[in-house]
């Protein structure tokens, strides 16, 4: 009896470790199946473009090579991928990853992921982005059947609200980076920063809604109604909702850190110019 009492916790511990290792492997597989490394690389390219916009504001006529280097380091793809995956895996702990893999390793899941990545990459082209927005606006105005389907998908995943919150948190992080970097008045309070960020909410909501619908309408255009309905149905399951939550938790934290780093870097360059 004594030996059994001593060994039982060891057996349980080994079983728990094996289960954790299996889930870690599944999380890695799901990360790859969802093509998140490719998506992160696209987000880096988007970030470099955003950094260029900030640089034009900072330097007016010519962007400093040092600024380009700073932005490139902030949007380091390897670090972004490591941070996103770490949070993604943690957020999925205890969730039904088997069901997630079952959907996205078969059709229409595999095609859906490919279409999402292709559309996100295509939107790096400003002309494509504008055309996508125009086409989406027409579909919304006409209330086409595809728009109604996409609207159902957006609402099922709360995509507008979660993206608005994420954008506002990133704006706040950027602003606080400026404050902590000494680029803002010393008497500026956190409450004043929050008020300013909240004043941007209506514009952020309009822009976010426009982007979400233009992206999804473009990405899912080749899908049949049946395939999109299958995706909507999966999104409404517990596994689908858990995956959606994990995705936002993984990316939001990383982009808040990036925004703060951009704020700090901007403050550094701004104060150098003042000198």
DSSP label of 220: T
Distance CA 107, CA 8 (A): 44
Which letter, b or e, does each residue of 198-232 get, where b requires 16 or more Cβ atoms within 10 Å of its Cβ?
eeeeeebbeebbebbbbbbbbbbeebeeebbebbb
Whole-number average pLDDT of the chain = 91
pLDDT value at residue 171: 96
Distance CA 227, CA 114 (A): 14
What span, in angstroms and rounded, lies between the C-alpha atoms of 60 and 50? 15
Kindly report the length of the chain.
275
- pLDDT tens-place string over residues 220-244: 999 999 999 999 999 999 999 999 9
What pLDDT, on a 0 to 100 scale, did the predictor assign at position 20?
Answer: 57
Q: What is the pLDDT of residue 222?
A: 98
Q: Are 116 and 219 in contact (CB under 8 A)?
A: yes
C-alpha torsion sign, points 218, 219, 220, 221: positive
At residue 34, the pLDDT reads 98
Q: Contact, 167 vs 250, CB < 8 A? A: no
The H or E element containing residue 252 is: helix 238-274
Check residue 19 and give its pLDDT.
Answer: 52
Q: How far apart are CA 244 and CA 237, in angstroms?
A: 11
What pLDDT was estimated at residue 64?
Answer: 84
pLDDT given for residue 270 in this prediction:
87
Cβ neighbors of 105 (< 8 A, separation 6 or more) are: 33
Q: What is the pLDDT of residue 5?
A: 47
What pTM did the predictor assign?
0.89
* pLDDT, block means (10 residues), the chain with 275 residues: 49 48 83 98 97 86 86 98 98 97 98 98 97 98 98 98 97 95 89 95 97 98 98 98 97 96 94 64
């Amino acid at each position: 009896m004594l030996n059994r009492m001593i060994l039982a916790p060891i057996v349980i511990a080994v079983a728990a470790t094996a289960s954790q290792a299996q889930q870690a492997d599944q999380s890695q597989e799901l990360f790859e199946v969802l093509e998140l490394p490719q998506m992160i690389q696209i987000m880096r390219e988007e970030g470099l473009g955003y950094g260029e916009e900030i640089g034009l504001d900072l330097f007016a006529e010519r962007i400093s090579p040092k600024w380009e280097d700073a932005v490139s380091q902030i949007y380091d793809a390897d670090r972004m991928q490591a941070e996103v995956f770490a949070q993604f895996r943690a957020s999925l702990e205890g969730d039904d990853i088997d069901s997630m893999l079952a959907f996205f390793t078969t059709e229409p899941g595999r095609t859906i992921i490919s279409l999402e990545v292709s559309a996100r990459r295509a939107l790096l082209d400003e002309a494509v982005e504008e055309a996508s927005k125009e086409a989406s606006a027409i579909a919304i105005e006409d209330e086409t059947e595809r728009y109604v389907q996409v609207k159902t998908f957006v609402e099922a995943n709360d995509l507008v609200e979660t993206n608005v919150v994420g954008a506002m948190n990133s704006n706040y992080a950027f602003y606080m980076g400026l404050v902590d970097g000494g680029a803002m008045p010393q008497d500026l309070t956190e409450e004043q920063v929050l008020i300013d960020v909240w004043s941007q909410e209506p514009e952020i909501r309009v822009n976010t809604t426009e982007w979400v619908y233009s992206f999804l309408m473009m990405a899912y255009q080749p899908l049949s109604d049946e395939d999109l309905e299958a995706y909507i149905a999966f999104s409404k399951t517990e596994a689908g909702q858990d995956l959606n939550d994990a995705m936002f938790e993984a990316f939001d934290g990383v982009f808040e850190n990036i925004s703060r780093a951009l704020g700090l870097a901007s403050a550094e360059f701004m104060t150098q110019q003042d000198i």
